[in-house]
A and B are shown apart, each in its own frame.
Chain A
Amino acid sequence: MPAIVEWFFPEGLYTIAMIGVFAVGAFTIKFPVSIAMAFAAIAGALIGGAGFPLRHLVEGMFGYLDTILVIATAMIFMKTAESTGLLEGLAAWIIRKFRKKPAFLSMGLMFIIMVPGMITGSSTAAVLTTGALVAPVLLQLGVCPHRAAAAIAMGAIFGMIAPPVNLPAMIIGGGIDMPYSGFGIPLIICTLPLAIFTAFLFIYPPLKKGDFSESGLEAELKRMEREPLSFRLFIPLLVLIVLFAVERVFPSHWPSLGMPLIFLLAAASALFSGVKWHPLQTVISAINDALPVMGILMGVGMFIQIMTLIGVRGFVTVSAIALPKWLLYVGIGVSIPLFGAVSAFGSASVLGVPFVLALLGHNEIIVASALSLIAGLGDLMPPTALAGIFSAKVVGEDNYLKVLRCCIFPAILTALWGIAIILLANKLAVFLF
């Protein structure tokens, strides 16, 4: 048998079958993405000779149990801030304060989008908290919805990669026994220039043109300010910031509450904000909004477990590292974001670790930082595209693919930037360490 055939059979075939079943399920029959993923996993197991492995299907879902708790509770927090009028009030305040300084306002808004991602290591948290806060501001300032959502999605991803907390880098480090320290400056190099660029690409132009009607804006600002910004209204946000900050600054003196509990405590503190709102309805509507993504993650969990079980994961990984040296960098730039369709964290684990090992000899901290940046792009890759889906949601756009289209250019730039950093890793290391 020719080597290539032996290489491809049967795992290559399984790969195509799983992706094929998913595509038919999601796009032709129009099942929810989660259900299409589950069917693809079941089909993979049947074709791959693993029967109907109920235990594996259920076990796979547990890989994202903690993640769905974060998503559910972050959504509850966001809906609460929305219900009390805090989000819109704060947005209105920022517009009034800074609308005469467009460059400053662009970068400032981008930074605000990034902060929760920097603290939580999750782009979803960033999109759903400050992303949701900034969204109405951007729209009022004349940024079109798609570009506003793209700015939020990209900012959330840069925030997730920026220090101090970067989960993909920790996952990659864990795979090669590298402690998570010394990553601060490399991660700033990875993210800061891209964040500034994206701010000027999406946010600055309409702000500079001042292309919005003063009277329409004024009316909208008045509407957004229905709740006066009192100290009590800020309580949930303050609780959130304080709990996160204390946990990060004094990690050994303060018990780790974890993101879900922090989000819930912050949401609960809104009971003291002196505004009438309906806690139960807010929670239900939050979970209802979060359910599609929680379901997708469960489907993805099954999918990864089965692809590992029947050898598809090994096929994908070894095919990626078998690329000739000159193609290796292309492989990194393409395969890591593509695999991110399954999940950015999964991609960091499945592909990030082998690539660091394939690149031994380059400074490992800088390589892992750059790979984590590229892995972050996975959050833009459909069908999961967490950053894309949620940012579309916060600007009120139903079709998240339109948002993703706007992200293509900055995403390609991000991948190129990551690859450039890997190529220059040892030169950078001389400066940094």
Chain B
Amino acid sequence: MHKMNIKGTRKTAIFLLTVALLVMYVTGRNFLAMRQPDVVIPADGFEKRMLSDWFQGIHNTPADTPVFIQEGQEPGGTVLILGGTHPNEPAGYIAAVLFLERAQVQKGRLIVIPFANNTAFTHNSPQEGYPQYIRFLLPDGSVRTFRYGSRDTNPVYQWPDPDIYVHEPSGQRLAGSEMRNLNRAYPGQPHGVITQRIAFAILELIRKEDIDLAFDLHEASPEYPVVNAIVAHEKSLELGAMAAMDLEGRGIPFRLEPSPRNLRGLSHREWGDHTDVMAILMETGNPIQGRLRGRTNEALALTGKDKFYQKAAKLGSLFIPYEDDQPIALRTARHVTAIMTFLEMLGFISEEKSVIVNNIPDYNDIIDKGIEAFLLSIS
């Protein structure tokens, strides 16, 4: 075959620009659709507020995000559950949504932030081929849809990245794109970029609401050493050890990792250093996040079933027990059950700070019946 030479003229240039406009229009509509917030149905007793109530600096910005508070009849401690720090880690925010839609607080207060980095839910990271939505088919035939977002803040709200991200106040240097990672932004900066302001707002909430115990829910790739893990600050290490031991006894093993002192900007480090809270970060194993994954789509996000992870598991390269799959029900159940175990242990440590939450399905229930059995119908 010889060179396919087509002459370029003003007309072809105009034609190509028209095609470009069309492509921008079609894909632009698709990208903008992700800015529509997900619908959640809080259980009775939750009061909805906005994160900007604690820090005005994010008021009227796309970063503002709902905060749900439920207070029990009996006085007790306050617990915070944070989902959606990384919107590409669905078991984290689905676990938070499950608490939001079911919890009946008997003692103390429960605060749920299901979509912590709202600005990261509105886009997908380039070159990852991620799905934009995950869906659950409920028993009554209706569908619950959640966005599958990005690890980082949408660059539309924070751009450009610096060449090197210098974490404040420690001076630690990280790759520039990490500046859009909420879990490298703590303790936050009131006058910083949007991600730093979200971090600051969350710290303000922890301080002003006197939170006793706080969870940051994540997922990690199965080949990453900190997975199926509880990461605990010094202040929460004892509680973490009690919970991990109890979970182990019930056949739900978690690695307990002390929060490294030299790794700055992460929730389990800075929440603990800058407030009185007992900070806990938890990770489950999520194949779609991993670099070894094969075909990337909604099914992989929901089932975790992947040919190449099966191969990698046989090679011994993974840090989770992986046989065939790693369904979102299992991953969410781990988060939910671990949180409930922590609440139990909190009661053992301090009666006055204890928090009792009812109506949360147990581990086997979630795995057997699936997430869809415990989400509320929107129809």
One of B85-93, B99-107, B288-296, B353-361 contacting the partner: B288-296
A42–chain B nearest beta-carbon distance, Å = 13
Measured as residues with beta carbon below 8 angstroms from the partner, the interface class of chain A is: 35 or more
Residues in chain A near residue B166, CB distance under 8 A: 251-252
Q: How far is the CB of A168 from chain B (nearest CB, A)?
A: 10
**Distance of A322 Cα from B292 Cα, bound (Å):** 11
**B 306-333 to A, binary, CB cutoff 8 A, 1 in contact else 0:** 1110011001010000000000000000
Q: Closest Cβ of chain B: how far from A195's Cβ, in Å?
A: 22
| A44 to B171 CA separation, bound complex (whole angstroms) | 44
A residues in contact with B73, CB < 8 Å: none
* Chain A binding surface SS class: helix
| Segment at the interface with B among A171-179, A210-218, A229-237 | A171-179
Q: A29-B1, A258-B162, A322-B315 are in contact. Are A354 and B175 (CB under 8 A)?
A: no
Contact B291 A175 (CB under 8 A): yes
CB neighbours of B306 from chain A (8 A): 314
Residues of A within 8 A of B132 (CB): 55
Say yes or no: B296 contacts A251, CB within 8 Å: no
Closest A residue by C-beta to B27:
A58
Of the 9-residue stretches A75-83, A301-309, A422-430, which lies at the interface with chain B?
A: A301-309
Instruction: Name, among A60, A121, A309, A310, the residue most crowded by chain B CB atoms within 10 Å (CB to CB).
Output: A309
Q: Which residues of B contact A180 (CB under 8 A)?
A: 164, 173-175
Q: Does A321 make an interface contact (CB < 8 A)?
A: yes
Q: Does A59 contact B (CB under 8 A)?
A: yes
Contact, CB under 8 Å: A346 / B127: yes
Q: Does A357 contact B (CB under 8 A)?
A: yes
Q: Assuming A179-B173, A251-B164, A311-B296, is B126 touching A301 (CB within 8 A)?
A: yes
Find out whether the CB atom of B223 lies under 8 angstroms from the CB atom of A354: yes
Residue A19 is within 8 A (CB to CB) of chain B in the complex: no
With A28-B1, A354-B223 known to touch, is A309 a contact of B175 (CB < 8 Å)? no
Q: Are A170 and B174 in contact (CB under 8 A)?
A: yes
Q: How far is the CA of A305 from the CA of B291 in the complex (A)?
A: 13
Contact status B175-A317, CB under 8 Å: no
Within 8 A of B (CB), among A307-363: 308-311, 313-315, 317-318, 321-322, 346, 349-350, 353-354, 357-358, 360
Stretch at the interface among A61-69, A265-273, A391-399: A61-69
- Contact of B164 (CB < 8 Å), options: A165, A260, A350: A165
Against A, the Cβ 8 Å flags (1 = close, 0 = not) of B1-36 are 101100000000000000000010011001100000
Instruction: Report how far A77 CA is from B64 CA in the complex, Å.
Output: 40
Chain B residues with CB below 8 A from A314, complex form: 291-295, 306-308
Q: How far, in whole Å, are A29 and B5 apart by their CA atoms in the complex? A: 9
A-B pairs under 8 A by CB, number: 146
Check A317/B291 contact, CB under 8 A, given A171-B175, A309-B129.
yes
A412 vs B168: C-alpha distance when bound (angstroms): 41
Tell me, in angstroms, the Cα distance from A280 to B39 when the chains sit together.
51
Cα(A317)–Cα(B3), bound, Å: 35
Contact of A357 among B3, B164, B223, B294 (CB under 8 A): B223
Q: A310 contacts which of B27, B161, B174, B295 (Cβ < 8 Å)?
A: B295
Task: List A contacts of B315 (CB < 8 A).
Answer: 321-322
Residue of B132, B161, B226, B311 with most partner-chain A CB within 10 A:
B311
Q: Please, which residues of chain B bring their CB within 8 A of the CB of A181? A: 172-173
Query: With A and B bound together, what is the CA distance between A240 and B97 in angstroms?
Result: 50
The minimal Cβ–Cβ distance linking B144 to chain A, given in whole angstroms, is 22
Minimal beta-carbon separation of B141 from chain A (angstroms)? 27
What is the minimal beta-carbon distance from B26 to any residue of chain A, in angstroms?
6
A48–B174 alpha-carbon span in the complex (Å): 36
Q: Is A379 an interface residue (CB 8 A)?
A: no
B178 touches A354 (CB 8 A): no
Q: How far is the CA of A170 from the CA of B161 in the complex (A)?
A: 14
| Residues of B contacting A354 in the complex (Cβ-Cβ under 8 angstroms) | 223, 291-292, 317
- Chain A residues 267-316 with CB under 8 Å of chain B are 301, 304-306, 308-311, 313-315
Q: Does A120 contact B (CB under 8 A)?
A: yes
Which residues of chain B have C-beta atoms less than 8 A from A62's C-beta? Answer: 126
Contact A29 B175 (CB under 8 A): no
How far is the CB of B4 from the nearest CB of chain A, in Å? 5
Q: Which residues of A contact B127 (CB under 8 A)?
A: 59-60, 63, 301, 304-305, 308, 346
B129 touches A306 (CB 8 A): yes
How many Å lie between the Cα of A167 and that of B175 in the bound state? Answer: 7
> Given A258-B163, A310-B295: A321 and B30 within 8 A (CB)?
no
The reply to whether A174 and B126 form a contact with Cβ atoms under 8 Å apart is no
Question: A350–B294 Cα gap in the complex (Å)?
Answer: 13
CA distance A252 to B164 in the complex (A): 11
| B209 at the binding interface (Cβ < 8 Å) | no
- Whether A55 touches B30, Cβ cut-off 8 Å, given contacts A28-B1, A62-B126, A301-B126, is yes
- B249 interfacial contact with A, CB 8 Å: no
Least Cβ–Cβ distance between B258 and chain A, in angstroms = 14
A126 to chain B, nearest CB (A): 15
B161 → A minimal CB distance (Å): 7
A394–B124 CA distance with the chains assembled, in angstroms: 38
Known: A256-B162, A314-B294. 14 other contacts (CB 8 A): A29-B3, A31-B4, A54-B26, A54-B27, A165-B164, A175-B291, A180-B173, A251-B166, A252-B166, A260-B160, A311-B294, A311-B308, A318-B292, A354-B223
> Considering the complex of A and B, which 3 residue pairs feature the smallest CB-CB distances, nearest first?
A309-B129, A311-B294, A256-B162
Q: Can you report 26 A-B residue pairs in the complex whose CB atoms are below 8 A from each other?
A: A28-B1, A55-B132, A56-B129, A59-B124, A69-B160, A121-B163, A167-B175, A170-B174, A176-B225, A179-B264, A180-B173, A251-B166, A251-B173, A252-B166, A252-B171, A258-B160, A305-B127, A309-B296, A314-B293, A315-B308, A317-B291, A318-B292, A321-B292, A346-B127, A349-B291, A354-B317
